[in-house]
Chains A and B, each alone.
Chain A
């Protein structure tokens, strides 16, 4: 089976994943106690007012009819209106998706680069002070929850030193300098767990590979350790690292909820929390649909990168 055939199959796989994921989410929201009518009426809901609103919102319809109406709309390009806020779901999601993607991708760039560099440094000087520090940073990154790290960074750099703003979002495409000041801390916090995993993965993959015969041969040829890693070991070591990075992308998309809340970044994270609380199912399903598309595209991108790193991989 050819590579492009494989990619096509991946794309077709989208259909069942989309149907199963959205239907499952819909069923969960539907069968949990309470619904968006209760959330809208809140503190002052009476059984009668809830019933009236359920009728107005179509929540009294059979479950498959409700899902069918939503699905039919999506197929026509209409993602429906938020039941809680009466605004078109797709408009809000599409305004917020680039924000989350920018945050997550920048966090990934930072975590991947710093992780790979730390991994290499620690392999160059195993069991040295540098290796110890690299491993310590990696352990801290993994063990400190990112919202705790975020608060610590805010307290030190924003509150204590007054160097960076405490909240906000400016896109790097609008104003790179201001984007740097507003996004630096969120990116460090969001990328810390990824950085830790990439460091460990790079280190262990490199340590494994430099035991291989072809690496020993390179040493015999007289290359320095750095040269050997750069020319021969790194590319092969990067394949498992790439898998870790792609997984950390998916984790980071989910983890953005906390970072976005803490740094007041108007991304999908905040939106999904609120929509779940209020049981606003068109919005939740719209976000799930978006996430499926993003993850699918990310996976395809990773597959293409695998192919580039190791052309021998068969599909």
Chain B
């Protein structure tokens, strides 16, 4: 059933192109943004690109059990949620002690 649908559906390359663009945007944002929240959002973009890859490959992958990729994607989502909540907790603690979360101003340690 799945293979019949595969023949008519979007080819794998398209999934990979979309995910690569999404990942590139996320990486660019994570490296260029100064606001810590924006960096966090960019990292989420990167993780979602990974999920598109995993689910796309699971649908089109030749060998192996297609469920593996989907399970991996669910794990990524769950762990990403935990990661973000810890990140936001750190950010909130930091924001309480100083004004703003511009990472260029968080520079007590250098060298």
- A and B assemble together: no
